[in-house]
Structure 1
Amino acid sequence: MRESWRWFGPDDPVSLAEIRQTGATDIVSALHHIPIGEVWPRDQIAAHRALIESGNVAGSQLRWTVVESIPVHDDIKLAVGGHEAYVDAWIESMANLAAEGVKTICYNFMPVIDWTRTDLKYQLPSGAFALRFDQDRFAAFDLFVLARDGAEADYSDAEFARAKSAYDALPSGEIAALTKTIIAGLPGKMTEAYSLEDFRGALARYAGIDHDHLRANLIGFLERVLPAAEKLDVMLAIHPDDPPWDMFGLPRVICTPDDLDKLFTAAPSPCNGMTLCVGTYGSRPDNDLPQMARDYRERIHFAHLRGVTRDPSEQRSFIEASHLDSDIDMVRVIRNLLENEGVTQREIFIRPDHGHLMMGDVSRTSNPGYSAIGRMKGLAEIRGVIRAVSEVG
């Protein structure tokens, strides 16, 4: 397995010099400063790669090998008139990356919003802090802050009552913080930051778009992109929708094995692959992650190895757990991924994800979910499992 680390560029509080100390060998990065829909110029890609590799020394070298991510413009997801120009720009960015040797691309097809949490600093019994998604707080925002048209139809009477209680318990300052957390965007997001009114407008664009429609638009996008990917030997790795269920009345189409089967049947190119985000898929109790790791061995080009602990009384609520201490059998997942490498004869890029905020990082500036020490702890745990499983055979 290729141990990788996500780096957000020169403004990332975790420096490349610190990343080298973790023992990771590969960098997962992107050109976040380029507006969504615009081409990533080759010279800027080359400069970013050179920045990553400029501090390399013998025995401790980093390479930019994975992109996370080239954003997919909402016009592509809606397949509105003129969206082809955005597809062409996406393909040109992919070609420029390939020309610089970056040939694994993680991306997603989530409409309007990217990965979503309700709490960015939820304190654990240990004293460390974790990311959290609370379904009642989310529903409180949807129903009483956003006041989305038709939202009541998406919730049962019991869910509505719990959301109202959650809303009534929110101090005014916390309402603003919750709003910012949900719609202003989190690290690595591939969607715009919105005001409440702009957010309502973005949601309105998707009126009448159901699962079949959105899936057809995803397949249409891939029909244009995959022939170029095949010529360039680029592996596309779609990330699941996070959390993996419909939100704000929007359809989400990469949530379950059934969704993946539909995608790979419609677009069977070997370049059409997936990111096995263990925590995201594991947010649903009906997703069997060890089995998914085995079933999609030919399609897994990238893996985020993190876990979640779901609330027994509300399975859509979860806390980002320690990497080996969650509702997911991470040891079996890793064992199956290692077996996949033996069958496919290719290494999988893996990275720790959404580490806890802990120790000295608590008083240090960091991106939510992407502090140094928590991810290093996760990488060390993952590395230990890989070593143990490899030794046992």
Structure 2
Amino acid sequence: MKQTWRWFGPNDPVTLQDIRQAGATGIVTALHDLPNGVVWPREAIAERKKMIEEAGLVWSVVESIPIHEDIKLQRGDWRQLIANWAQSMRNLAAEGVTNICYNFMPVIDWTRTDLAWALPNGARCLRFDQDRFVAFDLFILKREGAEADYSPEDVAAGRKAFETMSDEEKDQLVRNIIAGLPGSEESYTIEQFAAQIALYDDIDQDRLRAHLADFLNGVLPVADEVGATMAIHPDDPPRSMFGLPRIVSTIEDMRALRAINDSPANGFTLCSGSYGVREGNDLVAMIEEFADVIHFFHLRATKRDGNSFYEADHFGGDVDMVEVIRAFKALEDRLGRSLPFRPDHGHQILDDLTRRSNPGYPAIGRLKGLAELRGAMLALGATVE
């Protein structure tokens, strides 16, 4: 089990030295300064890799090469954008970086309504509050036809949330949802956001999956050629949002993705927090069924609170993390090799509460999560690198 850590590049307040002191050996990062759709130059990749290695670490996983919205929509020069994506993968592989995490979520990446929700012990965490989300969709964004997507109880609760929020809280909610969370690469105004969602009016789940198939069939031959692996990240949260289709939320979705192309490169990021939000998802069954094509693990815990959820302690959520780690170990034993994992997200605790960091990615909270995960892994007899 390879201990890795998400790092957002030279401007990340959490430094490479911080990461090394936390005990991680690998870095999960991307060239976040480059716009979506361009080819990543090999020189820029080499420069970033050198920076990581000079800190005594290795670049273990790319998270991620963003997939341009025009690829998901199949509009404009989408075929050239797929070719650009494949060339970036080729350039990464030429520098020895071959494990690539990516996602195919339309318009928005991972989404939360609260970025510093207070826990009883004084720590702060990420939270998705259903009432506030409905308030945003119905009464701030005012998406046409949105009310039909919610129950009467949801609508009433969303209205109450909207009416009791201050103007400052409403502005913060807008920023939290559409200004772009770390790694999302995109941010919008309300008007731009509404226009982008409208572009998907004629794209349902089947059509979006067909667009994913065209993307995969365009890039997987290159992955096979250069020895790269592609690990799709699940929808976060794994539910319909803004009427947009979601196609990586359940084990049935995973089966459908593998049915597109059976290349060993066509695989998954097993994110215990994302999949774990959806009641009924059996993460151990997912690991066992797709053992040969899980290329990366995100280990975190979420706790459901009605239709809402929050980021719990790494061993305090709805998923049995010990059993997930046990299945992870069995997978590695079967494969005969180690796979990377990272402590995903973390609470703001101690000095995190006054130190600047990207939402969800504080230094000390993730160090605590990594230490807990490492301890459980060692107790279960795993090899931790």
> What corresponds to 1:12 in structure 2?
12
**Is the counterpart of residue 212 in structure 1 residue 206 in structure 2?**
yes
Structure 1: runs of 5+ lacking an equivalent: 57-61
Deviation, structure 1 residue 141: 0.1
Q: How does 1:1-393 map to 2 (within 5 A)?
A: 1-56=1-56, 62-190=57-185, 192-311=186-305, 314=306, 316-390=307-381
Structure 2: runs of 5+ lacking an equivalent: none
- Local SS of the residue matching 1:282: helix
Q: 1:247 to 1:391 in 2, by over 3 A?
A: closer
Deviations 1:69-127 (A, max 9, x none): 00000110011242001001000100010011100000000000010000000010111
Deviations 1:300-329 (A, max 9, x none): 100000010101xx2x31010000111110
Is this contact kept in 1: 2:123–2:347, CA < 8 A?
yes
| Counterpart residue identity of residue 236, structure 2 | D
Deviation, structure 1 residue 361: 1.1
TM-score between the two structures when normalised by the length of structure 2: 0.98
Q: 1:4 to 1:391 in 2, by over 3 A?
A: closer
Quote the sequence identity (%). Answer: 54
Is this contact kept in 1: 2:329–2:382, CA < 8 A?
no
Distance 2:91 2:153 in 1: 52
| Counterpart residue identity of residue 346, structure 1 | R
- Local SS of the residue matching 1:390: coil
Q: How many residues align?
A: 383
Deviations 1:156-207 (A, max 9, x none): 11111011011111100110000010001101114x2100001111011111
- Local SS of the residue matching 1:131: strand
- Local SS of the residue matching 1:149: coil
Deviations 1:223-261 (A, max 9, x none): 011010001110100000100011001001000000000
Distance 1:162 1:391 in 2: 46
Quote the RMSD (CA, aligned, Å): 1.0
Distance 2:362 2:96 in 1: 28
- Local SS of the residue matching 1:237: strand
Deviation, structure 1 residue 391: 7.0
Distance 2:382 2:140 in 1: 53
Deviation, structure 1 residue 346: 2.2
Distance 1:370 1:271 in 2: 28
| Counterpart residue identity of residue 239, structure 2 | W
Deviation, structure 1 residue 266: 1.7
Is this contact kept in 2: 1:307–1:322, CA < 8 A?
yes
Distance 1:293 1:216 in 2: 25
| Counterpart residue identity of residue 19, structure 2 | I
Is this contact kept in 2: 1:275–1:302, CA < 8 A?
yes
Deviations 1:16-62 (A, max 9, x none): 11111111111000000100001110000000011111132xxxxx1
**Greater RCO between the two (CA within 8 Å, min separation 6)?**
2
TM-score between the two structures when normalised by the length of structure 1: 0.96
Is this contact kept in 1: 2:239–2:249, CA < 8 A?
yes
Is this contact kept in 1: 2:4–2:24, CA < 8 A?
yes
Q: 1:337 to 1:36 in 2, by over 3 A?
A: same
- Local SS of the residue matching 2:316: coil
Distance 1:4 1:391 in 2: 16
The more displaced of 338-347 and 288-297 is 288-297
Distance 1:136 1:346 in 2: 44
Is this contact kept in 1: 2:37–2:81, CA < 8 A?
yes
Is this contact kept in 2: 1:290–1:329, CA < 8 A?
no
Is this contact kept in 2: 1:65–1:101, CA < 8 A?
no
The more displaced of 69-78 and 340-349 is 340-349
The more displaced of 6-15 and 78-87 is 78-87
